[in-house]
Amino acid sequence: MRLKFLALLALALIAFAPQASAQDMRDPITGQNISGKGSNPNAKPPRSTGILSIFGGSTTIDPKYAPGSIVVITKQKKLYYVTGPGTAIEYNIGIGRAGFTWSGTHKVTAKKEWPVWTPPAEMHARQKGLPKRMEGGENNPLGARAIYLGSTLYRIHGSNDPDSIGMADSSGCFRMHNSDVIDLYDRVAVGATVYVIN
């Protein structure tokens, strides 16, 4: 009876809780602004609880992947950080649009907080009006963190457009909510293996 009462109370609280606007979406655990609006690039963002991704959670994975590695399955629009034999944390991601998906195995070669964005020549040719260089900050498309993959131009990174997570509209990078990429960034080591599977 007590559990039934608690479940009904939780549902009532959710139903009557004030809804955050798209302009000020807050991470329910850390309180971090994850809308991409109004964040301070000079402030140290709060650390995630490290238990579950806000937009994903703990799951199982093929035990052939070593703890500390990352597995990206583009068809699922999911990224998995392997925490132990057969276990992983699952995150939702945005992927490359048609013609920009890829597969392969790389190592994490660098990690950067509030990274600078320098669009490559190929991107400038496809999309006129891009800046030559954009400093890290709330308007930067790379978001709060970037994890660099091998010698490629591809990264796992945050985003200034949270609505793009779950979509296929990047130029081949993997986009994450800023709260999720901060959590992943704090877990993954330079040198970790990243498997990208279509």
Strand partners, 196: 72, 104
Per-residue pLDDT of the chain (198 residues; tens, 9 = 90+): 554 544 444 444 444 444 444 344 444 333 444 444 444 444 444 333 333 344 457 899 999 999 999 999 999 999 999 999 999 999 999 999 999 999 999 999 999 999 998 877 777 778 777 778 888 888 899 999 999 999 998 999 999 999 999 999 998 999 999 999 999 999 999 999 999 998
pTM: 0.70
Residue 41 covered by a domain: no
Residue 182 covered by a domain: yes
Residue 49 covered by a domain: no
Q: Give the chain's domain count.
A: 1
CA distance 154 to 143: 14
Catalytic residue set: 157, 173
Residue 20 covered by a domain: no
Residue 98 covered by a domain: yes
CATH assignment of the domain containing 116: 2.40.440.10
Domain with 191, as residue range(s), is 57-197
